[in-house]
């Protein structure tokens, strides 16, 4: 038996640091996402950057209706990430939903839960990436159905991007998207690249494309921007600390 009075107060002075980790990224992903958190962990050093994730309910397949339904769920999910504490940036990790909802609406939903916090989506990050790379003419690969893919192309075109060629793989379940093998992604990416395009965009945070970027860039001889790569790159910019990232495409040199 342990005596009731065994524990006594330590004499050591308690000193609290401002934060357990200096920089904070909030991340909201779909409940069915297999990929986004893994990709953040590939790049973000946990001793310097905390990535705090929350998940929202989502029903497959990836239809416009199901994607729109994620919007109202974002505010509560954002507020639940380190309640009452500030984040340096918050990201919603779903490219298709950011297209269907629109980035302005996503920002309103997220800031209702985390006021005055910079917002990043894969599509807004892609636009910033192409601006940084001085690119306005792209080819596109998506894993989605033709319907969702065409919405993405129209949204990109409205944001001053010229689409020279676009291929889609016709997969409407993000759990199956995450199972697409790297060889499939690489071959489909190379096939989708049109020679006159300045870069290739590979959409979908569920697609394991980030690990393939270097190999695709080597084959097509042009920059590759993917949803997760662009989202992470843009989040790191908001942290305003030097980041030495290699192995995930030429974007991180900008």
CATH number, residue 164: 3.40.50.12500
Range of the domain at 78: 23-123+231-248
Cα separation, 204 vs 33, in Å, equals 10
pLDDT digits (tens, 9 = 90+) for 70-107: 999 999 999 999 999 999 999 999 999 999 999 999 99
pLDDT digits (tens, 9 = 90+) for 146-191: 999 999 999 999 999 999 999 999 999 999 999 999 999 999 999 9
Q: Name residue 200's beta-bridge partners.
A: 139, 224
CA-nearest of 59, 9, 20, 54 to 36 is 54
In a domain, 12, yes or no: no
- How many domains does the structure of the chain reveal? 2
One domain for residues 86 and 53 = yes
One domain for residues 130 and 214 = yes
In a domain, 5, yes or no: no
In a domain, 86, yes or no: yes
Whole-structure pTM value: 0.95
CA-nearest of 78, 77, 76 to 89 is 78
One domain for residues 89 and 160 = no
């Amino acid at each position: 038996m342990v005596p009731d009075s065994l524990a006594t107060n330590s004499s050591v002075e308690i000193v609290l640091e401002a934060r357990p980790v200096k920089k904070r990224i909030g991340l909201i992903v779909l409940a069915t996402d297999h990929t986004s958190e893994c990709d953040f962990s590939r790049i973000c050093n946990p001793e310097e950057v905390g990535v705090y994730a929350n998940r929202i309910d989502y029903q497959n397949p990836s239809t416009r209706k199901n994607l729109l339904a994620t919007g109202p769920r974002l505010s509560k999910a954002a507020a639940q990430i380190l309640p009452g504490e500030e984040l340096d940036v918050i990201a919603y990790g779903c490219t298709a939903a950011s297209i269907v909802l629109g980035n302005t609406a996503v920002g309103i939903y997220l800031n209702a839960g985390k006021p005055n916090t910079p917002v990043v989506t894969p599509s807004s990050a892609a636009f910033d990436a192409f601006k940084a790379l001085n690119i306005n003419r792209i080819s596109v690969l998506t894993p989605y159905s033709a319907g969702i893919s065409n919405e993405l192309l129209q949204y990109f075109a409205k944001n001053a991007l010229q689409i020279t060629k676009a291929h889609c793989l016709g997969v409407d379940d993000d759990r199956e998207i995450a199972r697409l093998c790297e060889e499939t992604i690489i071959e489909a990416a190379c096939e989708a690249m049109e020679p006159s395009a300045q870069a290739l965009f590979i959409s979908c945070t569920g697609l394991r494309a980030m690990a393939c970027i270097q190999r695709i860039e080597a084959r097509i001889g042009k920059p590759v921007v993917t949803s997760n790569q662009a989202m992470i790159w843009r989040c790191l910019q908001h942290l305003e600390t030097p980041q030495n990232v290699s192995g995930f495409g030429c974007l991180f040199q900008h």
